[in-house]
Chain A
Amino acid sequence: MSQSLSAECTPLKIEYDSCFNSWFEGYLDPAVKASKTPEARAAYAKQKADEFNQKCGKIWEQYKGCVQHAVKEKGLDTLLQQAREENPLVDPIPPLPTQPPK
C-alpha cells in the first residue's frame, strides 16, 4: 500500500485502507444486486453503512486526526479550503445519459 504524506501516519493509513478495502469488497456486488427497489437499496445501505462505522470507525478517527495535522503542517489546509469553496463536489455526478443498460 502507498504511503501517507506524513511517515508517522502511514501505519494508521495502512490499517484504515485495509479495513475499508475488506468492507468494500463485501459491499459492492451485493449492493448492486440490492438496488432493484429503493426500499431494498436503503435497507442494505443502512445496514452496511452501520457495519462500516462499527468496523472501521475507530481506526478512521485515529488516522483522520493524524492526517489532518499533517495536512496543516504541509500548508495544504488553506489550499484545500479554497478548492472546496471553488468545487464542493458534495453531490454525486450523475450517470451519462448514453450509459449502456445494465
Chain B
Amino acid sequence: MHFFSQNFQYDHPWSHVVIAMWHKYPNSKCTHVVSIDTIDRSVDPVTGIIRTERVLGCKQKAPIWIVKLFGGSEDAFVREISFVDPATQNVTITSVNLSLSQFATCYEQIRYTPLPSNKTMFSQTAEVQARMALWRSAADGLEKWLVQRFEQNAHLGKLGFTDVLRNLWEERHRAHSS
C-alpha cells in the first residue's frame, strides 16, 4: 500500500471553487484527461445535496513492463463520485480506477471546504494498493509508478485549476464591471 496526501488553499471563495470545479477540463496542463461523462446525477429534494457519478477517460503511457504484464492499454477509465452539500459547504470527490482494477486500485479522495477570508481548503488523499499477494516486487513497482504518476498529475491539476479559476472569475469580473 502506498499513500499520497496534500493540502493547500485556493484564494477564491468556496462557491467560486465549486462552480469552477465543473470547468476544470479540458485543461492544457492536464492533457491526460481526454473525456468526461456524467453517467448519473441526482439533486436530493430534501437535503439539496447533489450527487454526481462520472467516468473520466485518461491517456497514460505506462511503462512497457506494466503493459506486458497486465495487458493495460493507453486508455484508462476512472469512476468519480462527488457530493456537493450546500448546507455544510462540504464537497467531496472520490475516484477509483476502473482500468487495471483487477490488479491494483487507486482510491482518491478530494475535499473542498471554506476557510475564513474567502479562501478554500483543498485536501487530497490517495491510497494505491496492488491486489495480488503474488508478484510482490512487480506489484510494488506498479504501486510506485502509479503513485509517481499521481504526484505529477496532482501537481498539474493544481496548476491547471488555478488557471481556470483565475480566467473564469477575472473574465466574469471584467464582464460585470464593464
Q: Which residues of A contact B (CB under 8 A)?
A: 1-5, 9, 13, 16-17, 20-21, 24-25, 27-29, 31-32, 34-35, 41-42, 44-46, 48-50, 52, 60, 63-64, 67-68, 70-71, 74, 76, 79-80, 82-83, 86-87, 89-90, 92-96, 99-100, 102
Known: A35-B86, A100-B114. A20 touches B22 (CB 8 A): yes
A76–B98 CB distance below 8 A? yes
The verdict on B89 contacting chain A, using a C-beta distance below 8 Å, is yes
A49–B45 CB distance below 8 A? yes
Since A9-B37, A34-B86, A79-B77 are in contact, a sample of 8 more A-B pairs with Cβ atoms closer than 8 Å, ordered by chain A residue number, is A5-B35, A21-B22, A35-B48, A41-B87, A46-B45, A48-B43, A64-B39, A92-B51
B79–A45 CB distance below 8 A? no
- The number of inter-chain residue pairs (CB within 8 angstroms) is 142
B19–A2 CB distance below 8 A? no
B25–A2 CB distance below 8 A? yes
Which chain A residues border B15 with CB–CB below 8 Å?
28-29, 32
The verdict on B162 contacting chain A, using a C-beta distance below 8 Å, is no
B43–A87 CB distance below 8 A? no
A87–B113 CB distance below 8 A? no
The distance from the CB of B2 to the nearest CB of chain A, in whole angstroms, is 19
Q: Which residues of B contact A (CB under 8 A)?
A: 15, 18-19, 22-23, 25-26, 33-39, 41, 43-51, 53, 55, 57, 77, 79, 81, 83-90, 92, 94, 96, 98-99, 101, 107, 109, 111, 113-116
Which chain A residues border B84 with CB–CB below 8 Å?
28
The distance from the CB of A85 to the nearest CB of chain B, in whole angstroms, is 12
Known: A89-B94, A102-B114. A42 touches B46 (CB 8 A): yes
Which chain A residues border B92 with CB–CB below 8 Å?
92-93
Known: A5-B55, A100-B114. A13 touches B37 (CB 8 A): yes
Known: A45-B48, A83-B79. A24 touches B22 (CB 8 A): yes
Known: A79-B98, A92-B85, A102-B89. A4 touches B37 (CB 8 A): yes
In whole angstroms, what is the CA distance A31 to B48 when docked?
A: 7
Of all chain A residues, which has the CB nearest B22?
A: A21
The distance from the CB of B108 to the nearest CB of chain A, in whole angstroms, is 12
Which chain B residues border A28 with CB–CB below 8 Å?
15, 18-19, 84, 86
9 interchain residue pairs of minimum CB distance: A45-B48, A31-B86, A35-B87, A49-B43, A95-B90, A89-B81, A92-B83, A93-B92, A79-B98
